[in-house]
Every structure is written in structure tokens, then in C-alpha cells.
Amino acid sequence: DQQVKQNSPSLSVQEGRISILNCDYTNSMFDYFLWYKKYPAEGPTFLISISSIKDKNEDGRFTVFLNKSAKHLSLHIVPSQPGDSAVYFCAASAGTSGTYKYIFGTGTRLKVLA
């Protein structure tokens, strides 16, 4: 049972446009969410987080939106740059933000075209 789903395995976007990566979850107890970016031959690196008490968190070009009623979150990258081409994973956990047990999605491969 996949509790965290990224239904789009890949996405291509033109440089300068917006990239929207989606993530759905099934467990209503999840209350803290992370996005990670992974380049080939490297480990995932933390990108941005959001807790369930917020519906939006912004960090530079990256914004994460959380829709708790729909159990859906999305990552927006504006403007997209070729260096953003990577695999993006969302992850979710239940409990306080200090908990360590995260469930990861299968990832979305983003390709930003120059």
C-alpha cells in the first residue's frame, strides 16, 4: 500500500516557466511533509518542508502548497532553470515534526529544457 504517491514519473518544462510537481497521500495522520531533490550519483538533498498547520511555505523560487482536505501537496518552481533537472521526492510523516519516520513517494523526474 503506497501511502505517498507521485503519480507523474516524469515532467518536462521549458526554462523560465513554472514546474508543478504533485504528491498525494492517504494517511490523514501525516502532518509534516518534506521535498527532496536528487541528482544522478548523489544522495537526495533537502529542498523545502511544510507542516500541517500551514497551507503554504515559500523559499526563493520554491513554494510548497498543502491541501489537507484533498490530502495533496504540490511543489512549484518558478522560474524553472536547467539546473533544476533532477528527481524530486516528497515524503510525509505522522506525529510531531521531530519524528524521523518518513514515507517517501516514488519520485518525479523533472527535465527543464533550455
Partner 1 sequence: SAVISQKPSRDICQRGTSLTIQCQVDSQVTMMFWYRQQPGQSLTLIATANQGSEATYESGFVIDKFPISRPNLTFSTLTVSNMSPEDSSIYLCSAWTGGNYGYTFGSGTRLTVV
> Which residues here bind partner 1, judged by CB under 8 A?
2, 4, 34, 36, 41-46, 49, 89, 91, 98, 100-107
Residues 112 and 84: beta-carbon distance below 8 Å: yes
> CA of 13: how far to CAs of 20, 40, 82, 85, in Å?
9, 19, 9, 9
- Which is nearest to 35 in space by CA: 108, 99, 96? 108
- 15 DSSP 8-state letter: T
User: In angstroms, what is the minimal distance from the CB of 27 to partner 1?
Assistant: 14
Which lies closer to partner 1 via its Cβ, residue 12 or residue 39?
A: 39
Which lies closer to partner 1 via its Cβ, residue 65 or residue 104?
A: 104
User: In angstroms, what is the minimal distance from the CB of 87 to partner 1?
Assistant: 10
User: In angstroms, what is the minimal distance from the CB of 35 to partner 1?
Assistant: 10
